[in-house]
Structure 1
Amino acid sequence: MNFEQIAAGQIASAVAILLAAYFIRGITGFGSGLVSVPLLALFLPLQFVVPLILLLDFTASIVIGGLHFKRVKWDEIGILVPFGVIGVIAGTTLLVKLPTEPMLYALAGFVFVFALRSVLNLHGDKLISRGWAVPAALTGGTVGALFGTGGPPYVIYLNHRIRDKSDLRATFSALFFTEGLTRIASFLIVGLLLSREIWIAYFAALPIMLGALYLGGRVHVGLSQTQMTRLVGVLLLVSSVSLLFKAMNV
């Protein structure tokens, strides 16, 4: 991609999108890719956008997880990761054998139901069983391999396992850090991270991302647990709508 072909208006739009995406990430610990990738891809090549956001998300995970290392629930992550890897293998196999449209519709409906529960604060105080980590991780890994959007199943599970909003945010970041390592390795193998333009854009966007994370972190401190849960629900609603549109355009 040639930077000279990017108009000033597109640069301003990209800055605004990144600020919004990582402001949300600073509040909740996830959601930056959900916000940024679809919007940036409207005027930038997807092969440029996805590796760029991967690098920024990976850095954000280090910042949030590193600053709140003691708040990460490693026991929750430990059970998710191995089943997530199995899900990735399964998703890669399914990718060449099954039609994607029905699975996208099913996932959109699944996420939508749980999003409404969060927005309306309908779920009770009782924590769900850790046994739900298996289907959550398998689904997250499979969907991630199939569609590049495996976050919602992980978010749904952890949101029903961890009550403290700061612990939840730190655990999201630690989980997505481990996933980011795997994706970075695979992107390096296929050459998606070998572009000079991506690294120039990454270092240019770094201060924007860090500033937005800081502002989001300040807002996070002032949120109640109910507000945090509802914000997560709104992001999941956005995710379900995004999946629905993707299914309609497969």
Structure 2
Amino acid sequence: MDWLSIPGVADPVAAALLCAAAFAGGIVRGFTGFGFGMVFVPVASMAVGPAAAVGLIWFIDLPYAFPLAARSFPRAVWREVGPLLIGSVIALPLGVYLLTRLDRDLTRWIIATVIALALAAMISGWRYRSEPGVKLSLSVGGLSGLFNGLAQLGGMPLALFWLSSQTNSAQRTRDNLLVFFALNTLVSGLLFMAAGVVTMERFWTAIPLIIIYGAGLLIGVRGFHIASEQTFRRAAYAVIGASVLLALPVFDAWIR
């Protein structure tokens, strides 16, 4: 695979993993509005390490975050997005701190366990029947910020939050997610830079992956417009379930 070259990545197998993860993550992000981190980070962590994976994902998604959300801004439900964003900003620094301190495998076990429990509650049919209050929104936003800083998995708590609502449609959920991530990208970038997670070296590595990710996004966005509500939810649940498996360290050897 000498033809496959990514700046800063000497191993062609690692480069192939990064390309595959960027393309698959783009499809998922374009279709559901979230999930890029769930696909990319576990795979990229095996290739370049967790901190580098988090830095790369920020650069890769940055050029698309606001264009993707442009049409969603007037449709977003700001009474839901606002408190979630505030909670995320408050907890994000803690997540970034843990990213640079916690043992990698321990972190992955924690994330996998939390995702699995939440997914089980959703599949069981649990739903909250009323509009979420400010306290719940702030708490979910805080959890999103924590996971965002720790492993760029901030979309997971938000997706669970909105998909478990009886009042949210697929379009409303997707609009809220796209707007949230566009705004949160600006804040997280500053903290990642201060922590040394976002660097110029990772910028150059990300350039070819940005193009590959964009191709995946295009496929995902087109797929969303022809998918049914049931297909949307099934796809979202499948992404969350796959993230649980990919987050488990016991599968590292098999994936390699």
Global fold match (TM > 0.5): yes
Pair 208,243 (structure 1): closer, same or farther in 2 beyond 3 Å: closer
Paired amino acid for 1:133: S
- Which of 182, 188, 192 pairs up with 1:187? 192
| 1:226-237 equivalences in 2 (<5 Å) | 226-237=230-241
Alpha-carbon distance in structure 1 between the residues aligned to 2:71 and 2:12: 35
Determine if the alignment matches structure 1 residue 211 to structure 2 residue 200: no
Provide the rounded CA distance (Å) in 2 between the counterparts of 1:97 and 1:217. Answer: 36
Q: 1:152 Cα deviation (Å)?
A: 2.1
For residues 80-119 of structure 1, the aligned pairs below 5 Å read: 80-88=84-92, 108-118=112-122
Check the 8 A contact 1:114/1:233 in 2, yes or no.
no
Q: How does 1:1-250 map onto structure 2 within 5 Å? A: 3=7, 6-88=10-92, 108-118=112-122, 120=123, 122-123=125-126, 126-131=129-134, 132-145=136-149, 149-161=153-165, 163-195=168-200, 197-243=201-247, 245=249
CA RMSD of the aligned region, Å? 3.5
The verdict on how the C-alpha distance between 1:5 and 1:153 changes in structure 2, with shifts beyond 3 A counting, is closer
The alpha carbon displacement at 1:18 in A equals 1.1
Which SS does the other structure have where 2:70 is aligned? helix
User: Alpha-carbon deviation of 1:193?
Assistant: 3.1
Shift of 1:244: 5.0
Taking a change above 3 Å as real, the CA distance of residues 130 and 241 of structure 1, as seen in their structure-2 partners, is farther
Q: Unpaired segments of 5 or more residues in structure 2?
A: 1-5, 251-256
Amino acid at match of 1:79: P
Q: Secondary structure at the match of 1:170?
A: helix
- Paired with 1:202 and 1:142, the residues of 2 have a C-alpha distance of 24
Between the two proteins, the alignment pairs up a number of residues equal to: 244
Unaligned 5+ runs, structure 1:
none
Question: What is the aligned partner in structure 1 of residue 253 from structure 2?
Answer: none
The CA distance in 2 between the partners of 1:7 and 1:99, in whole Å, is: 24
Return the offset for 1:153: 1.8
Q: Does the CA contact (< 8 Å) of 1:116 and 1:233 recur in 2?
A: no
